[in-house]
Structure 1
Amino acid sequence: MNKRKVLLIVLIVCVGLVFWWYFAPSSVSERTDHITLYGQIDLRTVQLSFSEQEYIEGMFVDEGDLVQRGQVLAVLKKDRLKAQFAEAVARVAAQKKVVQRLTTGLRPQEILQARARVRAAKLRLSNAQTLSQRIKKTTPSGASTRQNLDDVITDVALAKAELAVEQNSLSLAEEGYRKEDIAEAQATLKALQAVVDVLKVRIGELELVAPVNGTIQNRIAELGELASPSRVAFTLAVTEPKWVRAYLPEPQLGFVTEGMVASVYSDSFAEPFEGWVGFISPQAEFTPKRVETTELRTQLVYEVRVWVSDPDNALKLGMPVTVSLNTSETRANNSDVEVVDKGISVTSDSVKGLGK
Structure 2
Amino acid sequence: MNKKLIVVPFVITAAICAGIMYSKYDGSEALSKAYGNVDIRQSSLAFERSGRIVKLNFDEGQKVKKDEILAVLDTEALNYQIQIDEANMRQAKASLDEMVRGYRTEDIKQAGANVKRLEDNLKLATVTNERYQKLYRARSVSAQEKDNAFYSMTQIKAQLDEASAKYKQMLKGYRVEDIEKAQAQYDGAVAEVNYLNYQKNEQSVIKAPFDGVIRTRKSELGDMASPQSTVYELSVIDKKRVRVYLTEKQLPLVKVGAKAYISGVDDNKVEGNVAYISDTAMFTPKTVQTEDLRPDLVYEVRVDTNDPENRLRLGQSVTVEFSEK
Aligning the two structures, in what range does the TM-score lie when normalised by the shorter sequence? 0.7 to 0.9
Pairing partner for 1:220 from 201, 208, 218:
218
Q: Deviations over 1:310-347 (max 9, x none)?
A: 2211211122221110132xxxxxxxxxxxxxxxxxxx
What is aligned with 1:322?
319
Q: Give % identity.
A: 34
SS of 2:153's equivalent in the other structure is helix
State the Cα distance separating 1:145 from its structure 2 match: 4.1
Confirm or deny: 8 A CA contact 1:34 1:326 kept in the other structure.
no
Distance in 2 (CA, whole Å) between partners of 1:41 and 1:137 is 114
The residue that corresponds to 1:246 in the other structure is 244
The question of whether the paired residues in 2 share the 8 Å contact of 1:55 and 1:227 is answered with: yes
Aligned with 2:153 (options 143, 153, 156): 156
Q: Is the 8 A contact 1:243 1:308 kept in 2?
A: yes
Equivalent-residue separation in structure 2 for 1:282 and 1:91 (angstroms): 62
The corresponding residue for 2:46 is 49
Is the alpha carbon distance of 1:136 and 1:71 closer, same or farther for their aligned partners in structure 2, counting shifts above 3 Å? closer
Shift of 1:153: 3.1
8 Å contact from structure 2 (residues 58, 70) kept in 1: yes
Three-state SS of the structure 1 residue aligned to 2:90 is helix
Query: Which moves more between the two structures, 121-130 or 137-146?
Result: 137-146
Matched, 1:183 2:180: yes
Moved more, 89-98 or 196-205: 196-205
More helix as a share of residues: 2
Structure 1 equivalent of residue 88 of structure 2: 91
Aligned 1:294-333 pairs, distance under 5 A: 294-328=291-325
Matched residue of 1:273: which SS? strand
Closer, same or farther: CA 85–157 of 1 in aligned 2, 3 Å: closer
* Residues 189-227 of structure 1, C-alpha deviations (whole Å, 9 max, x = no match): 111111111111111121111101111111101111001
Shift of 1:146: 4.6
8 Å contact kept, 2:211–2:236:
yes
> 8 Å contact 1:277–1:304 — kept in the other structure?
yes
Stretches of structure 1 that go unaligned for 5 or more consecutive residues are: 1-29, 329-356
Kept in 1, the 8 Å contact 2:213–2:234? The answer is yes
Change (3 A) 1:134 1:256: same
User: Displacement, 1:135?
Assistant: 3.5
Q: Deviations over 1:19-66 (max 9, x none)?
A: xxxxxxxxxxx9889611122222311111111101000111111111
Q: In 2, Cα distance between the equivalents of 1:264 and 1:147? A: 115
Q: Which residue, 73, 82, 102 being the options, matches 1:76?
A: 73
Q: Distance in 1 between matches of 2:60 and 2:210?
A: 16
The separation in 1 between residues aligned to 2:317 and 2:146, in whole angstroms, is 118
CA contact (8 A) 1:122 1:163 kept: yes
Partner SS for 2:261: strand
Match of 1:100 in 2: 97
TM-score (norm 2): 0.85
Structure 1 residues 53, 142: CA separation in 2 closer, same or farther (over 3 Å shift)?
closer
The Cα of 1:247 is off from its aligned counterpart by 0.8
Residues in 1 aligned to 2:33 and 2:133: alpha-carbon distance in whole angstroms: 127
SS at match of 2:324: strand
Q: TM-score, normalised by structure 1?
A: 0.78
Cα distance in 1 for residues equivalent to 2:256 and 2:139: 123
- Write out per-residue CA displacement over residues 114-144 of structure 1, whole angstroms, 9 at most, x where no aligned residue: 1122122122122223323434454455444
Name which of 113, 117, 121 aligns with 1:116.
113
Root-mean-square deviation over aligned CA pairs: 2.1
State the match for 2:163 in structure 1: 166
Question: Is residue 289–residue 317 contact of structure 2 (8 Å, CA) maintained in 1?
Answer: no
Partner secondary structure for residue 91 of structure 1: helix
Instruction: Give 2:9's aligned residue.
Output: none
**In the alignment, which of 206, 229, 233 is matched to residue 235 of structure 1?**
233
Number of residue-to-residue matches in the alignment: 298
8 Å contact from structure 2 (residues 238, 309) kept in 1: no
**Aligned in 2, Cα 1:291/1:162: closer, same or farther, shift over 3 Å?**
closer
Corresponding residue number in structure 1 for 2:5:
none
